[in-house]
Structure formats: C-alpha cells, structure tokens
Amino acid sequence: MARSSHLAAQRRELSFILNRLTAYTTLADRDILERRLRTILEKPLSDDFYIMANEVFDKIEAQHPSVANEARGNFYGMLSEVKYEYRTPTESTSMLMVGLMMSTFFKTACPNVTLSQETADKVVEILKKHYINPKAKITIFHEMLRSNQGPANDTETAGRLTRAMAECKGTLYTKEHLDVPEGEDDPIAALENERIYGLYLRHLVITVTVPAGELAVVHPYRWWDTTRHPEFCVSGHFDPNQILKNPFAFDMQEALKSNIASCQTIFTEPMPLVKGLDFFEQQLSPFRIYPLLTNAVQTADCEPDQFCASIAIFCSRPDAAKIYASEIRIALSMETSRDQPFSGDCISFQDTGVDLNTYATNFERFFNMLGLTDVVIHEEPRYYEYEDEGGRIYVNARGVSMPLNPNFAPVMPAHFLN
C-alpha cells in the first residue's frame, strides 16, 4: 500500500512539473521546476515508475499535443544528466558511447567484444585527437556492449557505473561483467542468429572526467542525421564517405582491428549514452541495408535490380497490456519469386515520437541508391501477434504476413564454393 501511495505521489508531482515546463516557462520558474524534477529522478527508480511516466506522457499527449515532445525531452534530458553524469566540486564526469555497426556479407561468428589495455590506450588517444578535451581523464569499459546490456538498459546500473568508472585511475575499467539475457530470452542474439549474413551492433561505454567548468567534447561533430542531409532530402542521394571514410573512422578501425577483424565497421561519434544509442540504432539504420542486399547480390551473382524489398511497420495494439517498441521489418525476395522473402532485418525504434513512415521512405531511398528500385512500403502498421513456430513474421510484396523462407534464397554459384 505504501509503495502504491508513493507512486501516486510521484505521478502527481511529475504531471505537475511536465505540464508547466514548456518553452513559455520563465527562467526563474524553469529553475524551480528543474530542481523538483531532479529531486524525483536522482532517487532509485523502479520499473513501475517508468510505466507511470509513460502514462503521464500519454495524458499530456491527449490534452496538450504540442507540449508532449517537449515533456519527453525535459524528462529524458534530466534523467541523462542525473544518472549518466557525476559531479564533484572540482570535477564533472559524463558517460558517453561510441557505436560500432560491424557487418560481413556472409555469416560469421560475433566479433571479439573484450578490449585489451593496449586497445583502450589507443582509443583514448584517438578520442582526444578528434573530439575530447585533452585534459580529460577517459576510462573505457572493458567490453563492447549490446543495447540491452548494462547502463543502456538500466539507469540504476548507469548511475553506479558512472561513479565507479570516474573513480578508476586507469584507462580500462575491468572490475565487473554486465550480463545479458541468455538464449531465447535475448532478442538481439535471436535476430543475429536469424540473419544469413553478419550484422553486430555494439557500443563502447566511456566516461570522460574534466575539471569543473570545462567542456568534455571540445571539437564539433562532423556529421549528423544522414536522413536530414540536404542533398539526401532533395535528390534522395548523398555521399556516405563522410561517415564511412572520415579520419576518426580510419583511426578507430586501426585501433580496434584485433576486435573487429574482417568486419566492415561504421563508427558513430562520441555522444551521451542514451541519445547516442537512439542515434546509432535509428538514424544510422539505413546503413544496415548494405550487408542485407550485398549478401543476396553476391550469393545470387546478379545485380541488385533482380530483387524486391518489402518494408512493413509492426507495433503493439493500442489496447495491449504491455506496449513494445515499434519495429520496421524489411523482407527481401527474388523478382522471380516476389511472394517468398528469404532474408530480412528488423529495426526497433525505442523513441515513440519518431515517424516510422519517414524512416520507411528513407530505407527505400537507400535501396534505390544501391540499385534496387522495386521497393514496396506497406504504410498501414501490423500489430504484433504471437510469432508462430515458423519464426519472426515479415510482410511479402503482396502484403501477406509470413516468416522468411530460406528455401527461396538464391543458390550460391559454383565458383564461390571452390
């Protein structure tokens, strides 16, 4: 009963704050409201609290749609500051991430996720060369993590780990291992196993400690959301080399060569962990098309225009007891058997405010850039149903929901087998 009444009090306070913390709030009122919000968020938070917070967001959305996105931004901005930063009178520590999108055109084992001391030292030098304050103390967690692992998945772990890494004297933090769900309980591992090519999304967790009053990131970011690139918005094309072949990427490729091995790897710039993961998994998602399509092209020994791509949006029913992250599922089929997709990918969107149809259109543009022009977008969302024993459900070019069928995959030419 006490727990229920405490949650109800938190609901009233959170609703009071977020309904008043808007673009029209005076600076004096903003200062008061932000301090009250900080007081709520700096305490240990349960899963029930986050469910309650989403209900508050939904109510604001229904009553004041223009305030809803701002409310989420204020909430998660303060949450990141409280849980992913640590301040003393003399120093300020922030938890950042660098994303790695590692891919191979054919199925391979997962890259080595454990970092050596030598690798950590090299990465620290590169970060200071390209982005981070040279005066900073940088500490790197000793494993490359998944988005369902550790601080990205648990704000209480984030707060504890930020402080522990801030107190670490060296460049490599090795005092603990962060477990992930095992086997069928791990959706990331399940999807990696389903793919007929290699695609592994991992991130480095980094703490940056600087003297009080100094910046952690002193060099400006060189690239942002590719989907908002002016050339891409106008013509549907842009030069991806600003991401694939920039100086930071070249240096990181060399420093992490013992981990990434033969994988083609895209690196994100160092960003605050939560916002950085959203950027990594959403804004960079069109680049996931490349290994998907290249696997099919090289296996069939044909051109990209011999394939058809079907793009569908999946989400929870509005009245579902539990709401899951929405997904875009991409299914690939041969033009000669358009009804039978044999390969695909599934991209989750944790941010409920994103326009999934815009992302679907961007996927179509990236397919077009790569030479595949037969792209079908199913704009009406499909609701999650129980996945049957045939596997994850996709949508074929005719709009029929079905699992992938590897029997319709192209046969590898003989010269690849010799």
Q: Which residues pair with residue 322 across a beta bridge?
A: none
**Average pLDDT of the residues in 202-227:** 89
Rounded CA gap, 146 and 203, in Å? 7
Most confident of 108-112, 228-232, 276-280, 413-417: 108-112
Contacts 24+ apart (CB under 8 A), 246-250: 246/222, 247/130, 248/126, 248/130, 248/131, 248/222
Rounded CA gap, 111 and 335, in Å? 33
Q: Which residues pair with residue 326 across a beta bridge?
A: 349
Rounded CA gap, 347 and 11, in Å? 32
Question: Where residue 322 falls among pLDDT bands split at 50, 70, 90?
Answer: confident
Q: Which residues pair with residue 275 across a beta bridge?
A: none
Range in 60-64, 102-106, 227-231, 259-263 the model is least confident about = 227-231
pLDDT at site 415: 43
Rounded CA gap, 227 and 286, in Å? 9
3-state SS record for 110-125: CCCCECCHHHHHHHHH
Question: Where residue 406 falls among pLDDT bands split at 50, 70, 90?
Answer: confident
Asked if residue 201 lies in contact with residue 346, where contact means CB atoms within 8 angstroms, the answer is no
**Average pLDDT of the residues in 86-94:** 92
User: What residues does each domain of the chain span?
Assistant: 2-83, 87-283, 288-417
Rounded CA gap, 357 and 348, in Å? 14
Question: Where residue 232 falls among pLDDT bands split at 50, 70, 90?
Answer: low
User: What's the Cα-to-Cα distance from 20 to each of 15, 121, 354, 362, rounded to whole Å?
Assistant: 9, 46, 23, 35
Q: What is the DSSP string of 293-323?
A: HHHHHHHHTS-GGGEEEEEEEEE--TT-SSP
**Average pLDDT of the residues in 340-354:** 84
Tokens 């301090």 locate to 35
Per-residue pLDDT tens digits for 7-55: 999 999 999 999 999 888 999 999 999 999 999 998 888 889 988 998 9
Is residue 118 pLDDT above 70, yes or no?
Answer: yes
Is residue 208 pLDDT above 90, yes or no?
Answer: yes
**Average pLDDT of the residues in 190-207:** 93
Give me the amino acid identity at 401: S
Instruction: State the CB neighbour count (10 A cutoff) for residue 118.
Output: 11
- The predicted model scores a pTM of 0.84
Is residue 2 pLDDT above 90, yes or no?
Answer: no
Per-residue pLDDT tens digits for 123-182: 999 999 999 999 999 999 999 999 888 898 888 889 999 999 999 999 999 998 776 555
Cα-based torsion angle of the residue sequence 346, 407, 337, 403 in order, rounded to the nearest 10 degrees:
-40
Question: Where residue 72 falls among pLDDT bands split at 50, 70, 90?
Answer: confident
pLDDT at site 133: 98
pLDDT-above-90 percentage for the chain: 53
pLDDT at site 351: 67
Average pLDDT, the chain: 87
Question: Where residue 412 falls among pLDDT bands split at 50, 70, 90?
Answer: low
- What are 212's two structure tokens? 């009080």
pLDDT at site 117: 98
pLDDT at site 234: 66
